[in-house]
Copies of this chain bind each other. A is one copy, B any other.
Amino acid sequence: MSELSASDLTILRMLQDNAREKLENIACETGLSVATVQRRIRSLRDKEVIQRETTVIQPEAVGYTMTFLVLVEMERERIDQVDAFRRRAQANPQVQQCYYITGEADFALIILSKDIEDFERLTHRLFFEDANIKRFRTSVVMKRSKFSSEVPLAILAGAGDASC
């Protein structure tokens, strides 16, 4: 993986803030030409530094009013069993995030649900029907902040001039 330049970081920071940021603004901020900015972005996409460009939707607007954090403990921590559970969890569209972790629990899941019944059905499918799940602990999320994943990027003194 090749190193990223200061202007690459500026490009990433601006695009993370707004995927539709005008190339001209980025060019001005970095001191590069529009064509160069475009080539850098293409390169960042090709290198998969930029993984995707997505639209963040308010879950409540489409009926998902509840969020849960579920800590899952497995009976046996065999690699194939762990992988099998992760695949099942990931495959479920209501499982927003899936972390395989050290400590008391083996997995932490962030789960969206329309209501309590919806969540209960999901736990049955995901946990009760899996003999390898020892137990799971559910926390209701009362407030979530910073739902979308933003990577901290250093704000470097750009070479751009005052015309920005």
Contacts and interface: CB of A to CB of B under 8 A. Distances in A.
A162 to B, nearest CB: 26
Shortest Cβ-Cβ A-B pairs, 6 listed? A93-B152, A103-B139, A101-B139, A15-B55, A49-B61, A100-B143
A11 to B, nearest CB: 9
A94 B90 CA distance: 24
Interface string A140-161: 1111111111111100000000
29 contacts: A4-B61, A16-B54, A18-B53, A19-B54, A20-B53, A48-B61, A49-B58, A51-B57, A51-B58, A51-B148, A52-B56, A54-B148, A64-B152, A90-B146, A93-B150, A95-B146, A96-B149, A96-B150, A97-B147, A98-B144, A99-B144, A100-B144, A100-B145, A102-B140, A103-B137, A103-B139, A103-B140, A104-B137, A108-B108
Interface residues of A, number: 65
Contacts of A98: 144-146
Number of copies: 2
B53 A90 contact: no
A35 to B, nearest CB: 19
Nearest to A143: B100
A70 B95 CA distance: 19
